Amino acid sequence: MGTVDPKKYETQTFDWGVIKWLVSPDNTPGANITFGQVVLLPGEGHTRHNHPQSEEILYVLSGTGRQMVDDKPEFEVRAGDTIYIPTAIHHSTVNTGWEPLVLLAIYNPGGAERDLRGLPDFQAVPPGKAPALKRA
């Protein structure tokens, strides 16, 4: 397989930020997991949700935010933190800083990312095109 070229994959945009799925069962032959990069804009985040069939791991690359897991009190997250979310557990992430909150996300098994296409604020930016950080 080799290296993954991010320019070959669409970027998914939302009111709260962008995602690029670099490995998934839909774009990588033989893959059973999903791996991607998520950017949450300052003051934005994704609301409480769950993935009924997948566990999730989040790794914070940069920025600061608040994380909720299993409807328990929120806690602060920052660069270097890893968050494990078991299958079907509700969670949310919000950027509390002035700069983008950048995360790596893994779903096991892959496929949970397909649900994002059904969100009302979903838009796809074609491969090779750069998304705006804030949509007009």
CATH 3.40.50.12500 fits 6-125, yes or no: no
Helix (H, G, I), strand (E, B) or coil at 7: helix
Strand boundaries in 2-74, DSSP class E: 11-14, 17-23, 34-40, 45-49, 55-62, 64-69
Distances (CA, A) of 49 to 36, 89, 108: 18, 8, 16
pLDDT digits (tens, 9 = 90+) for 6-54: 999 999 999 999 999 999 999 999 999 999 999 999 999 999 999 999 9
Q: pTM for this structure? A: 0.94
